[in-house]
């Protein structure tokens, strides 16, 4: 099977996400436009890449605002296809997801939900404050050989609207909701320390989803309650055991087990200790793993699955970094956050914008704002889908990709699998033959011929 045939086979599986055939046709065209684009990323560039003229610009622009499909429906269909893939990564025979948030700089002053965001990072090249959008993301881990990839499932804007009251969902609550929307029961989700919340654990437990995360170094747990005495004293029975400051357990070096694990691409020696205690609930235990790195750094990991060993939890948490690689790849290779949709009638925001209050807008304006937010998410998720296709091709067809790649590298990838950039460059090189010599049975060929015929007919009607 050729790469273009495999791409269209994947796209064909997404057809049920669209209520109209025309909307699905535009998905195929836009995906190929992104894959074959060799200019600055934009809708114009995507159309040029597949040979469509400016006649179709407004048609393509309308597709990002059309009612015949939604991000959620497309993401669920894409997730359903990914979750049964042969290369899906499993832990204890269960799927493994990674979730995180990303702050995207946006200077547009007529873009809804753009707000002033604080960036906490050790990277000195990042400014402390930016204007932009905050996206929450979920990815599914796929692996073949030594290549482990976090394939994006969905992106969602989760900040920028004023809270109605104290019960309004926080970013942690919204990440919890995203997990519940997509993650299958029994699966594992790996989250950063920012999302280590007792409320989130409670929600995930109610849906039989296991959490692996990192907690603060000053976390206090509770020992299990001792057996109840035969004769109970006055007062209410205790719900919690004694306080346990987890950080103090590092002082007992004899209780730590030293082991060498393959983490972040290399062998590392570390010491660890597992402790089962209460944290989020007096009824349920969680497993803490105290990790002492060779350089003296101390971290504490948490797992709601008590059947995982210390090394398994440490190894699983190291996979969390894969979503950071996915974010970087989406930005640097596809410019997946490069959307430029404005609201002409929107009042220009300030230089330090805050959350907007929807009550300040009329119902038609609220509808326009929600429609524009959907357009932002559609652009990002479209590029995320393209990135996922590139990752799947890398794992499924490495030999065909390397065979079609005309460049060279001074160093070879240790995994032996091509990167997403190599896959894309291979497709770019084959672009002319894909567009000119592809069989009529391919979706792209069929849809482009239909668009060309429609354009000629429309022009003849105008001039006639």
Mean pLDDT of the residues in the chain: 89
Can you tell me the distance from the alpha carbon of 182 to that of 188, in angstroms, rounded to the nearest whole number?
12
79, 141 Cβ separation under 8 angstroms: no
Residue 110 pLDDT level (bands cut at 50, 70, 90): confident
Q: Mean pLDDT check: name the lowest of 94-98, 116-120, 433-437, 445-449.
A: 433-437
Instruction: Check pLDDT > 90 for residue 412.
Output: no
Nearest to 324 by CA among 118, 137, 159, 170: 137
Instruction: Check pLDDT > 60 for residue 464.
Output: no
Residue 360 pLDDT level (bands cut at 50, 70, 90): confident
Q: What is the pLDDT of residue 380?
A: 97
Q: Other CB atoms closer than 10 Å to residue 412's CB: what's the count?
A: 8
Instruction: Check pLDDT > 60 for residue 456.
Output: no
Specify the DSSP class assigned to residue 179: H
| Residues 208-258 pLDDT 10s | 999 999 999 999 999 988 776 656 666 677 788 899 999 999 999 889 999
Q: What is the pLDDT of residue 454?
A: 64
CB contact set of 378 (below 8 Å; sequence gap of 6+): 64, 71
Mean local confidence (pLDDT), 430-436: 80
CB contact set of 57 (below 8 Å; sequence gap of 6+): 43, 44, 47
Residue 118 pLDDT level (bands cut at 50, 70, 90): confident
Mean local confidence (pLDDT), 348-364: 83
Mean local confidence (pLDDT), 294-321: 95
Q: Is the pTM of this model over 0.85?
A: yes
For residue 118, the Cα-to-chain-centroid distance in whole angstroms is: 20
Q: What is the pLDDT of residue 441?
A: 67
Q: What is the pLDDT of residue 215?
A: 95
Instruction: Give the strand pairing for 129-144 and 147-157.
Output: antiparallel
Q: Mean pLDDT check: name the lowest of 102-116, 137-151, 175-189, 373-387.
A: 102-116
């Amino acid at each position: 099977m050729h790469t273009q045939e495999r791409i269209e086979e994947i796209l064909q599986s997404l057809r049920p996400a669209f209520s109209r055939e025309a909307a699905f046709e535009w998905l195929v065209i836009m995906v190929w436009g992104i894959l074959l684009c060799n200019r600055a990323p934009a809708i114009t560039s995507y159309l040029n890449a597949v040979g469509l003229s400016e006649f179709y610009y407004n048609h393509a622009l309308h597709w990002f605002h059309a009612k015949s499909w939604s991000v959620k429906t497309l993401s669920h269909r894409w997730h359903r296809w990914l979750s049964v893939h042969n290369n899906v990564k499993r832990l204890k025979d269960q799927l493994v997801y990674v979730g995180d948030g990303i702050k995207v700089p946006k200077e547009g002053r007529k873009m809804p939900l753009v707000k002033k965001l604080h960036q906490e990072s050790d990277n000195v090249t990042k400014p402390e404050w930016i204007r932009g959008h905050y996206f929450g993301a979920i990815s599914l881990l796929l692996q073949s050989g030594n290549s482990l990839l976090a394939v994006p499932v969905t992106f969602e804007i989760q900040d920028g609207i004023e809270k109605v009251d104290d019960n309004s969902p926080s970013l942690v609550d919204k990440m919890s909701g995203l997990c519940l929307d997509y993650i299958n029961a029994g699966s594992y989700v790996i989250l950063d320390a920012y999302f280590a919340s007792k409320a989130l654990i409670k929600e995930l437990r109610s849906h039989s989803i296991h959490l692996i995360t990192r907690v603060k170094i000053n976390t206090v747990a509770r020992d299990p309650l001792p057996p109840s005495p035969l004769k109970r004293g006055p007062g209410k029975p205790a719900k919690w055991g004694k306080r346990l400051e987890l950080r103090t357990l590092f002082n007992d070096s004899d209780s730590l087990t030293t082991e060498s694990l393959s983490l972040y691409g290399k062998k590392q020696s570390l010491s660890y200790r597992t402790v089962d205690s209460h944290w989020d609930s007096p009824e349920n235990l969680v497993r803490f793993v105290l990790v002492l790195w060779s350089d003296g750094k101390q971290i504490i990991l948490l797992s709601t699955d008590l059947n995982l060993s210390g090394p398994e939890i440490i190894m699983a948490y190291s996979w969390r970094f894969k979503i950071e690689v996915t974010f970087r790849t989406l930005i640097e290779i596809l410019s997946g956050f490069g959307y430029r949709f404005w609201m002409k009638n929107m009042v220009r925001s300030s230089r330090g914008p805050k959350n907007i209050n929807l009550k300040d807008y009329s119902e038609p304006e609220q509808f326009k704002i929600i429609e524009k937010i959907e357009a932002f998410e559609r652009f990002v998720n479209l590029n995320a889908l393209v990135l996922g296709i590139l990752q799947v091709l890398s794992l499924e067809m490495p030999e065909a990709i390397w065979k079609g790649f005309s460049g060279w590298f001074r160093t070879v990838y240790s995994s032996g699998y091509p990167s997403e950039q190599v896959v894309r460059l291979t497709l770019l090189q084959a672009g002319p033959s894909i567009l000119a010599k592809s069989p009529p049975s391919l979706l792209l060929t069929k849809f482009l011929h239909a668009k060309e015929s429609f354009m000629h007919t429309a022009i003849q009607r105008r001039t006639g």
